[in-house]
Chains A and B, each alone.
Chain A
Amino acid sequence: MIKVLVACGCGMGSSQLLKKNCSAVLKNLGVEHTIHHTSMDEAKSTAHEYNLIVVGENFVNHLKVKEGTIVVGLKNLMNKKELETKLKESGIV
């Protein structure tokens, strides 16, 4: 079971959709997970509680995470293929 956090600027619009896509992709890959969505400012302070953090590409540099937490940055928040490839590359699945 991995803990996943999805974040966007305000934590309301794009992260909500990304959460849905991310959950579907992880399910397809057979990864058990719990998933939440939130804003970037909250993600910064709670990042250490999660195994995987998925954000838009432009936010990747804003997150400072400890070892053990993987950050995946997406160019197209709506593209499940990109998400799947990047999740596989990250080694979390």
Chain B
Amino acid sequence: MNIITKIWDVMFNNILSQPAIFIGLIVVIGYILLKRKWYEIAAGFIKAVVGYQILQLGASSLKNTVDPLLKGIQLKWSVEAVVIDPNFGLTAANSALESIGVTTSFAMITLLIAFLWNILLVFFRKFTKVRTLFTTGHIMVKQSTVATWIIFFLIPELRNMGGIALIGILCGTYWSVFSNMTVEATQELTEGAGFAVGHQQMLGVWFAYRFGGLFKGKNKQEDKAEDQKLQLGGALKILDDYVVSTTLIMLLFFGVIMIILGPDMMHEVDDGNFGKLVFPVYIFQRCTSFAVSLVVLKTGIRMFVGEMVESFEGISGSVLKGSLPAVDCAATYSFGDPNAVTLGFLFGALGQVIAIAGLLIFKSPLMIIPGFVPLFYDNATIGLYANMKGGFKALVACCLGSGLLQVLGSAVAIVLFQMGPFGGYVGNLDWATLWPAMGAMIKFLSVPGAVICIIGMLIIPQLQYRKNKEEYFSLGMEE
């Protein structure tokens, strides 16, 4: 017995509790199934391990950049401040898991189970009516990590492999069902391009598609976004550059906060970085270091997710035939009205600012700081679909609403899942609406609550199928 325990200990300490090596081994298995050459497998292993470690480096640098600021806010106004952005959410969920002594490898097992569950649901699509396979690895990493923390926090008894299986199935059901809900909308927008959205605002896409038409004016062709004679072009084009947009948004929000906090406070909480700099240079330097951390983080994610997604093809194999891939929402931006993307972003941002002002006016103990990903990707996508169905008015209504919900829903989620002390939460629309709702259910009903959520979600594709039996499985498929 002793030897077995010892072997398990060695395995646990050296593989399972080392997420980088763990993810590397998953890649190796996938590549073996794909019958890759040994040196390709070795290269894949190394890139996955190095990529994950770069991600960890970026995450800790992001944490070090944001921590003094959050501390300053706390000292000055005694409120907790949280950044709502999936990159910050991933970093926060990782530290949250570490704070309860759980290895982040668990989150990677969640990911694997969720992915296998998605394959299973697609494989039995005759019964499940699920047509879409999630392929956006970078999203899957973030969501499975946050979901793991949510359940581990809400139900401490589940902090084991059985619990991971449940989280994996919950997460995988969400991926399958909600990406499946975007099929009709996306085929209409792209004129049958043959993909669905697999991102973090799939409920929002469905909502904008389903209800966008209600905002349509009486004269049919009166108000499309393209008729809003806006010369947005030039100046807003720089937002397409992630480094520029992140720095600007951080300057806008954190810059203002730092000015209000004042140089004395910043010296107190962050003297190491402040040193002998003058205040404006210090502010600018801090805001650019957000961009630095995020670029490092993304480089790491890109590297290991690149290997992971390729190796997953070894696992998903022929299942993909006859199903649709659920891809990044950005794939929709070359369809529909290009103005809608920019306008969606602007009205979403307006919604977020109104909600944050509301939090401040009503002296909320929690302060929300917007991040770029929910601001841009959610609202641009929702704007595109809303504009298609109901024109400019629908875009304004849906994106304003989305911005408001992103902030207020995230605030609820942060309190419910106790993410406040870790300074970050996902903030995308699904994670500000659907997930806190499911979280509340699980909090009060424990495991049965999770089971109800899973079954409830699985009913949705059945209802979709009933509505359109003839074309259901042929939508977006090539002849």
Chain A contacts to B: CB under 8 angstroms: 8-14, 16-17, 20, 37-41, 44, 56-59, 62, 74-79
| Contact present for B193 and A76 (CB under 8 Å) | yes
Is there a chain A Cβ closer than 8 Å to B190's Cβ?
A: yes
Nearest 3 A-B pairs (CB), nearest first? Answer: A13-B328, A12-B138, A14-B331
Which residue of chain A has the shortest Cβ distance to B310 in the bound complex? A20
Chain B neighbourhood of A74, CB < 8 A: 334
A79-B193, A79-B194 given; A56·B302 CB < 8 A? no
Q: Which of chain B's residues 209-262 have a Cβ closer than 8 Å to chain A?
A: 237, 240-244
Complex Cα distance A62/B301, Å? 24
- Tell me the smallest distance from the CB of A30 to a CB of chain B, in Å: 21
Which residue of chain B has the shortest Cβ distance to A76 in the bound complex? B193
| Contact present for B193 and A9 (CB under 8 Å) | no
| Contact present for B335 and A12 (CB under 8 Å) | no
| Contact present for B242 and A14 (CB under 8 Å) | no
Complex Cα distance A11/B299, Å? 9
Chain B neighbourhood of A78, CB < 8 A: 193-195, 325, 327, 331
Most chain A Cβ neighbours within 10 Å, of B193, B313, B338:
B193
A39-B242, A40-B240 given; A13·B334 CB < 8 A? no
| Contact present for A13 and B338 (CB under 8 Å) | no
| Contact present for A10 and B241 (CB under 8 Å) | no
| Contact present for A13 and B139 (CB under 8 Å) | yes
A8-B328, A41-B242 given; A56·B139 CB < 8 A? no
Is there a chain A Cβ closer than 8 Å to B137's Cβ?
A: yes
Chain B neighbourhood of A16, CB < 8 A: 137, 305-306, 309
Tally of contact residues, B, Cβ under 8 A: 34
Complex Cα distance A44/B241, Å? 10
Chain B neighbourhood of A41, CB < 8 A: 241-244
Q: Which of chain B's residues 306-360 have a Cβ closer than 8 Å to chain A?
A: 306, 309-310, 313, 325, 327-331, 333-335, 338
- Tell me the smallest distance from the CB of A62 to a CB of chain B, in Å: 6
Complex Cα distance A87/B357, Å? 50
Is there a chain A Cβ closer than 8 Å to B135's Cβ?
A: yes
Chain B neighbourhood of A12, CB < 8 A: 136-138, 298, 301-302, 305, 328
Complex Cα distance A10/B240, Å? 9
| Contact present for A10 and B330 (CB under 8 Å) | yes
With beta carbons under 8 angstroms apart, the residue of B244, B325, B334, B338 that contacts A17 is B325
| Contact present for A17 and B242 (CB under 8 Å) | no
| Contact present for A13 and B240 (CB under 8 Å) | no
Which residue of chain B has the shortest Cβ distance to A75 in the bound complex? B334
- Tell me the smallest distance from the CB of B239 to a CB of chain A, in Å: 10
Q: Write 25 A-B pairs (CB below 8 A) sorted by A numbering.
A: A9-B240, A10-B242, A10-B330, A11-B298, A12-B305, A13-B139, A13-B329, A13-B331, A14-B328, A14-B330, A16-B137, A16-B309, A17-B328, A20-B313, A37-B302, A38-B302, A39-B298, A41-B243, A44-B241, A75-B334, A76-B194, A77-B334, A78-B193, A78-B194, A78-B325
Which residue of chain B has the shortest Cβ distance to A62 in the bound complex? B240
A76-B193, A79-B193 given; A9·B242 CB < 8 A? yes
- Tell me the smallest distance from the CB of A91 to a CB of chain B, in Å: 23
- Tell me the smallest distance from the CB of A7 to a CB of chain B, in Å: 11
Complex Cα distance A10/B294, Å? 11
Chain B neighbourhood of A76, CB < 8 A: 190, 193-194, 334-335
Complex Cα distance A91/B194, Å? 27
A13-B139, A78-B193 given; A58·B334 CB < 8 A? yes
| Contact present for A59 and B331 (CB under 8 Å) | no
Q: Which of chain B's residues 253-293 have a Cβ closer than 8 Å to chain A?
A: none
Complex Cα distance A20/B338, Å? 26
Chain A neighbourhood of B137, CB < 8 A: 12, 16
- Tell me the smallest distance from the CB of A14 to a CB of chain B, in Å: 4
- Tell me the smallest distance from the CB of A39 to a CB of chain B, in Å: 6
| Contact present for A59 and B240 (CB under 8 Å) | yes
Complex Cα distance A45/B139, Å? 26
